[in-house]
Amino acid sequence: MPSSRVIPDAEFAPAPIGTRIRLLTIFTPCAIVIGTMVTSAITAKPGSNLRWWPLVAPLILLPIIGGAWCGARIRRYLLAGDELLVERAWLKARFTLKKLQAAVPDRDALRGARRIVGNDGLGAISGRFRSKRLGRFRAYVTDPEQAVVLRWPDRCLVISPQHPSLFVETVRKRAGLSA
């Protein structure tokens, strides 16, 4: 009777939030709230009943921004079976490890990248991007300095686990790639 070897799931925390994301997470909500308050105060007509709007705007906008931040944050990277799952608060992205060609740490993966669609820094860098070096790729990054590039024949993914070298070693073993 052949023995079937089951590889246990491996969980990886995302890298701690990098400087770029930390700054954008702090300054973006502040700029939005202050900008809304100033715009509302300037555009309100004298004698208008809308003079209260600049004071109420933060009460409406901050929960919306907080919800967007919670949804954008990357909770964990999970290697389960032959899949990589990127878990966020409300969404899971699944990537099969079949046909994975390469897994390499790359601190410069996002250098020169242009966002096609997605979030470029509120809680994380996530979405679809394009660069000359990587072509089109998806990103789920909390710190570009700890980025790992995963390549398949038809796509590319950039993530940032807390321990990139351990993640690369684990995913290579799981996908059957040589070191």
Q: What does the pLDDT look like over 130-164, one tens digit per residue?
A: 999 999 999 999 999 999 999 999 999 999 999 99
Give the contacts of 157 (CB within 8 A, at least 6 positions apart).
Answer: 84, 95, 137, 138, 139, 140, 149, 150, 151
Tell me the pLDDT of the chain averaged across its residues. 87
Residue 4: pLDDT over 60: no
**What is the pLDDT at residue 36?**
80
Categorize the per-residue pLDDT at 3 as very low, low, confident or very high, splitting at 50, 70 and 90: very low
Residue 12: pLDDT over 70: yes
Q: Please say whether the beta carbons of 73 and 123 come within 8 A.
A: yes
**What is the pLDDT at residue 156?**
97
Q: Which amino acid is at 27?
A: F
Q: Distance of CA 39 to CAs 43, 45, 48, 61, Å?
A: 6, 12, 15, 14
Spatial distance between the Cα atoms of 54 and 135, rounded to a whole number of angstroms? 44
Residue 99: burial class (beta carbons within 10 Å; 0-12, 13-18, 19+): exposed
Query: Which helix (H) or strand (E) is 72 found in, with range?
Result: helix 53-72
∠ CA 150-156-160, rounded to 5°: 50
Task: Tell me which of 73 and 44 has the higher pLDDT.
Answer: 73
